[in-house]
Amino acid sequence: MMRQYELVERVVKYDPDANEDLLNRAYVYAMRAHGNQKRASGEAYFNHPLEVAAILTEMKLDDATVAAALLHDTVEDTSVTHQEIEEKFGKEIASLVEGLTKIKKLDLVTKEATQAENLRKLLLAMSRDVRVLLVKLADRLHNMRTLDHVSPEKRIRIAQETMDIYAPLAGRMGMQALRDELEDIAFRVLDPEANRTISERLKRLHDESGDVLRQIEKELVAKLAENGIKVEVYGREKRPFSIWRKMERKHLSLGQLSDIFAFRVIVGTVDQCYRSLGIVHRTWRAIPGRFKDYISVPKQNDYRSLHTTVIGPHHMRVELQIRTRLMHEIAERGVAAHALYKDAPDAKEALDGFKSPAAESNAYRWLRHLVEMLQEGESPKEFLEHTKLELFHDQVFCFTPKGQLIALPRGATPIDFAYAVHTSIGDSCVGCKINGRHAPLVTELANGDEVDIIRSEAQVPPPAWEGLAVTGKARSAIRRATRAAARKQFAGLGKEIVEKLLAKHNRAFAETEITAAIPRLGHKNVADALAAIGRGDLSGKDMLMAMGLEAGDGKAKPIRKRTSKAGESSNQLSVPVRGAGVNTALKIATETGAVPGERIVGIITPGEGLTIYPIFAKALEQFDSEPERWVDLAWDATSPEQKFPARIKLTILNEVGALAQIAQVIGEGGGNIDELQMSARAAARDFFDLDILIEVHDVKHLNKIMAGLRSRSIVSSVSRVAG
């Protein structure tokens, strides 16, 4: 285990102004807090936060981040409280530890909606302070390095989670070295046979070509030195997972790969990068189509280098990556290197093109863009779709007529381009010009294309565009725009219907009267209620009744409360719906429940009456072949005291007091638990599934309680049961 003074020396070596007292206090405090705790491997638990801190020193992070790494498990796994951390180490470190404690509770490999919700939490924590992500990635790396000590089932789950979320996230934040190691360890767990085959082949190639590689390094150094360029050259071979990914993407066999070896050529300035490229191309034959200039056009994670592939010495095909020292640091450490930019003597030239690197880097802009998507996404599923596309795409670079660079995924169309520039441009797009010529909106864009979007304010994006778009941003914006357009049309139709009905009562349409009636109909606002009438989900007569009028006789009458008649089912009084017969017995399906504000239908059962289902209930599928049993129903006006059943499903952490927290949220929200079932998850023992039949006033009341449940840290997911 690393000694206290060794950790401090590591930090002071790259940051002489580091707070040594802070690091010493954090080391001792964390060691005492974890005491005799052990990890699955049997080693002292404190070794884990210490190794995480050591990984962060390799990234050359500040003393506060290293201290937070030492303390990151204390609140979660010991008796230490957040308040104690703040008192002893200050608000900055306490905030970092709190963010890490929340992230630790996430279970990202779950159902899609849950995965999306948890990814939202992770990205929000990152957006407040990106150092939370850096500590989390270092934490994940050490856990991956010690993965052999956990059960096979858990090992596969963690490896898949790493491959799906953490490794791509590290890549998008520019931390390539960390991403490579995460992917290789996960690949070793998820596909051991493929990993073994590729690793053995790489070893043979290295043994056969080792001397040749060293000779190529020497020749490169000598050739550039002849031209007055001092250079460092590092030969490297591609990682097993990188090779596997390329084989799958290009449908190649291992024997067909010819650029397994690459050389990083480190020079002093940007000018020397381009001079070195010219010398290399004059000396060895370049392979056409293999040159990429990521200095002039950086990747979205701030990666900058010149890439070229040549037939080098000994007729070996080799890839060269030419960059400055600072570019190399950024390529390896990404956002972790940003703190050093402004202090570096050659930062201005090496990072030419960045206005304020620490604040305006592409990686930070990407993170801010994702956080904006949290507000725009109509559902967690849409957000997850967008985020995964953002994490995994290859890029093409296109330009606006004014020269603005737009990075898009490969296969993107002008529709994606328009939405990438701005949502309003995408919504008003009617055509485009590519490189000065009119082109269809389905054209696949290529690197270097200049795209000019033709707009019309009268345009509404057609729903079919969703299938043409590639980016998540474009797809979600198209869905949002088409929903808004349809809602506007239905609201207009609904207003006409209500106006005509009011005219029969010699009443004019007054939005204030409509607004007062909205709570009785279970809708958020006037526009929603009118749209529901236009769609047919709500009748105009329901609106009049909610306003205190009866429709049909031309006179205004107050609503009278119905009284029970002899022989009439008592269920009829507790379920106020329109569309059923006067003496029809009614009941709500307990497998789903149904509440005002949800569209409902009734299913006739001879001798039993009508069973009410929400329109999304899966049970309705069994009656598809019996249309004669279906009855179209609508909610009648309800009294403020009435409550209705709705079944919801929760996934919660297996913690002491978890069930009490759930009951507290429901009780404080004015709901009532009518039935509750709990079951342990077979695949994840740390979680329980709860099935709750809850009584609420309407769908607005239900959504408020579900939102309150989602806000609790013990809750992984909440959803309405469809049966």
| CATH number for the domain that contains residue 699 | 3.30.70.260
Q: Which residues contact 603 (CB under 8 A, 6 or more apart)?
A: 610, 611, 613, 620, 623, 629, 630, 631
Q: Is the torsion defined by CA of 523, 525, 526, 532 positive or negative?
A: negative
**DSSP state, 329?**
H
Query: pLDDT value at position 591?
Result: 92
User: Does a structural domain hold residue 383?
Assistant: no
Q: How far is CA 320 from the centre of its chain?
A: 34
Q: Supply the range of the domain harboring residue 106.
A: 4-187
Crossing angle of helices 91-104 and 82-89, rounded to 10°: 150
CA torsion 554-560-565-568 (nearest 10°) is 80
| Residue 378 burial (10 A CB sphere; 0-12, 13-18, 19+) | exposed
CA distance 611 to 601: 8
The pLDDT confidence band at residue 696, using thresholds 50, 70 and 90, is: very high
Query: pLDDT value at position 685?
Result: 65
User: Does a structural domain hold residue 554?
Assistant: no
The answer to whether residue 229 scores a pLDDT higher than 70 is yes
The answer to whether residue 375 scores a pLDDT higher than 50 is no
Same domain, yes or no: 183 and 197 = no
**DSSP state, 575?**
S
Tell me the one-letter amino acid at 280: V
User: Does a structural domain hold residue 379?
Assistant: no
Tell me the one-letter amino acid at 579: G
User: Does a structural domain hold residue 566?
Assistant: no
Helix (H) or strand (E) holding 646: strand 644-653
CA distance 496 to 190: 60
Task: For residue range 455-493, list pLDDT tens digits in order.
Answer: 988 888 887 888 788 887 888 888 888 888 877 877 887
More reliable by pLDDT, 501 or 90 = 90
The total of structural domains in the chain comes to 6
User: Does a structural domain hold residue 559?
Assistant: no
Tell me the pLDDT of the chain averaged across its residues.
79
Same domain, yes or no: 609 and 700 = no
Task: For residue range 341-355, list pLDDT tens digits in order.
Answer: 333 444 444 344 333
Which CATH number does the domain housing residue 442 bear? 3.10.20.30
The answer to whether residue 177 scores a pLDDT higher than 90 is no
DSSP string for residues in 129-180: -THHHHHHHHHHHHHHHTGGGS-HHHHHHHHHHIIIIIHHHHHHTT-HHHHH
The answer to whether residue 227 scores a pLDDT higher than 80 is yes
Comparing CA positions, the residue from 218, 238, 215, 216 lying closest to residue 226 is 218
DSSP string for residues in 246-309: HHHHHT--GGG----EEEEEEESSHHHHHHHHHHHHHHSEEPTT--EETTTS--TT----EEEE
Tell me the one-letter amino acid at 19: N
**DSSP state, 670?**
T
Same domain, yes or no: 325 and 183 = no
When pLDDT is averaged across residues 621-629 and rounded to a whole number, the result is 80
Tell me the one-letter amino acid at 670: G
Nearest 5 degrees, angle CA 388-CA 391-CA 394?
115
Q: Which of 512, 531, 546 is the last residue of a domain?
A: 546
Q: Select, from the ranges 104-118, 184-198, 553-567, 577-591, the one with the highest average predicted confidence (pLDDT).
A: 184-198
The answer to whether residue 298 scores a pLDDT higher than 60 is yes
By the 8 A CB rule, do 117 and 380 touch? yes
The answer to whether residue 234 scores a pLDDT higher than 90 is no
Same domain, yes or no: 214 and 346 = yes
Q: Which of 167, 187, 207 is the last residue of a domain?
A: 187
Least confident of 148-152, 300-304, 442-446: 300-304
Same domain, yes or no: 197 and 300 = yes
User: Does a structural domain hold residue 564?
Assistant: no
| Residue 298 burial (10 A CB sphere; 0-12, 13-18, 19+) | buried
Q: Which of 635, 666, 688 is the last residue of a domain?
A: 635
Same domain, yes or no: 146 and 214 = no
CA distance 119 to 115: 6
Six token digits for residue 346: 């050659």
Same domain, yes or no: 539 and 608 = no
When pLDDT is averaged across residues 497-518 and rounded to a whole number, the result is 80
User: Does a structural domain hold residue 373?
Assistant: no
Same domain, yes or no: 169 and 56 = yes
Same domain, yes or no: 612 and 536 = no
Same domain, yes or no: 143 and 204 = no
CA distance 273 to 323: 6
Which CATH number does the domain housing residue 33 bear? 1.10.3210.10
202, 243, 245, 256, 419 from 251: Cα distances, Å: 19, 11, 10, 10, 32
Which CATH number does the domain housing residue 345 bear? 3.30.460.10
User: Does a structural domain hold residue 420?
Assistant: yes
| Residue 87 burial (10 A CB sphere; 0-12, 13-18, 19+) | exposed
**DSSP state, 210?**
H
Query: pLDDT value at position 76?
Result: 83
Query: pLDDT value at position 163?
Result: 84
107, 115, 152, 658 from 111: Cα distances, Å: 10, 6, 21, 21
Tell me the one-letter amino acid at 278: G
Comparing CA positions, the residue from 421, 531, 526 lying closest to residue 473 is 421
Same domain, yes or no: 183 and 199 = no
Q: How far is CA 259 from the centre of its chain?
A: 34
Task: For residue range 585-599, list pLDDT tens digits in order.
Answer: 788 999 999 998 888
**DSSP state, 717?**
E
Q: Which residues are catalytic?
A: 76-77
**DSSP state, 356?**
S
Same domain, yes or no: 183 and 200 = no
